[in-house]
Every structure is written in structure tokens, then in C-alpha cells.
Chain A
Amino acid sequence: DAMVIQNPRYQVTQFGKPVTLSCSQTLNHNVMYWYQQKSSQAPKLLFHYYDKDFNNEADTPDNFQSRRPNTSFCFLDIRSPGLGDAAMYLCATSRGRGQFFGPGTRLTVL
């Protein structure tokens, strides 16, 4: 029944050590999103894929990259995590009827 799956649920990395978060979906939605949510704040959109078209938000740091090898999977790469990148990372998908979110990956940077 799982629709939007994120792995891992908890990720610990070291300052400056690259990390990849993954998202997969069984909904066959054409749009996938990555959000960053820091404590007590609203989710902040980092980027989204409309089919294969990548759309970066203007204020998303270059440190964040994304890949979508096929419809079902999308990855978030953080090239050199800093302490300020510790947050919940949420993946979402949509196809004309609103966005559906995964459970999130909580990233800790030591």
C-alpha cells in the first residue's frame, strides 16, 4: 500500500561527507518534489521534476543536487553537508490532484 517511500528514515552523516537520500513512488505520478523542513518551520521547496524536466528553486544552494533516473525514483544528493543542512527532507509526488508526501528522512550532520 505504500505510495511514497523514503529511505532511509534517519540518516547521520559527517560534516562535509556526501550523502544521498532516496525517494520512490508507486503512484506513477509525473511530478516529484524535494522539500527541506527545519524545526518549527514550514516545508521549503528545493526543486521538482516535471517528468524529466528539472526545476530548481532560485534560492536552493548549489550544494543540493537531484537525479530522477525514471518515473518511480528520485534522489537528493547533498555534496558537502554542513551543520545548517540538518533537517527533515520530504519527498512528494503529484499528478493533478495535489501532492502526496513520503514519511521523510531526518538528516543529522555531526
Chain B
Amino acid sequence: AQKVTQAQTEISVVEKEDVTLDCVYETRDTTYYLFWYKQPPSGELVFLIRRNSFDEQNEISGRYSWNFQKSTSSFNFTITASQVVDSAVYFCALSEAPGGSEKLVFGKGTKLTVNP
């Protein structure tokens, strides 16, 4: 069975600090996809990144970076120089490969608060 664990329930930082959100996953599939979504207080789930299981390259997008390590089944998300607008709940998720239903298995989310 697939499972995603986000051990950090809440994190609070001061603006400009770097922060890393942890995500550990379990799956028996050899092909799968990992995602991060941001959910601000407005409620919409905003897609941040999709990574397939064969691509272990780290990715950087502005202040955001992701570290995918199959050896530890982790897909961690780092925000550099955090800003108040980064305050949100962040969900890590896992899905089977395309061709099927692509159902997402979500972690429980990490609530990030960035204080001015």
C-alpha cells in the first residue's frame, strides 16, 4: 500500500530563514510520481512540483528547491529566505504512474507559519 508521511505537523520560522519540509513515502511500485502542493488560507491546492521516480535530479525554482532521494524514500522541500506569503499548509503526495487513475495519496500536511 502507498503511504506518505509528513512528520512535521507545524513549523514556525521568522522571515528570511530557510526551512525544510520533510516527506517520506512508501510504495511497492517501481514507477510512481511525487508531488508537492501548497494550500494557502484561501483553500485552493496549488501545484508546486511533480517528480517521477526515475528522475532523482534535484530541482530549484526560485526560492524553492526539492531533494529527491530514492535510497531513503524521501522527497524534501526547502524554501530559502522564507517570506510571509509562504505561510500555508504544504502537502506531499504520491501517485501511481500515468495510464491509470493517478489517484493521489496525501500526507497529512505541514502547516508553515512565517512570521515577520
Contacts and interface: CB of A to CB of B under 8 A. Distances in A.
A98 B35 contact: yes
Given A88-B43, A99-B47, 9 more contacts: A42-B106, A43-B45, A96-B102, A98-B50, A98-B95, A99-B35, A101-B47, A102-B44, A103-B42
Q: Which are the 8 A-B pairs with shortest beta-carbon distances?
A: A96-B98, A42-B106, A101-B45, A98-B50, A103-B44, A104-B43, A94-B102, A42-B108
Looking at chain A, what size class is its interface with the partner chain?
Answer: 20 to 34
Interface residues of B, number: 22
Interface of B: 33, 35, 37, 42-47, 50, 91, 95, 98-99, 101-104, 106-109
Nearest to A43: B106
Interface in A70-110: 88, 90, 92, 94, 96-104, 106
Contacts of B37: 101
Contacts of B42: 103
Contact of B104 (A50, A55, A99): A99
Contacts of B107: 42
A31 B106 CA distance: 18
Interface of A: 31, 33, 41-43, 45, 48, 50, 55, 88, 90, 92, 94, 96-104, 106
Contact of A101 (B33, B44, B95): B44
18 contacts: A42-B108, A42-B109, A43-B106, A48-B101, A88-B43, A90-B45, A92-B45, A94-B102, A96-B99, A96-B102, A97-B50, A98-B47, A98-B50, A99-B102, A100-B47, A104-B44, A104-B45, A106-B43
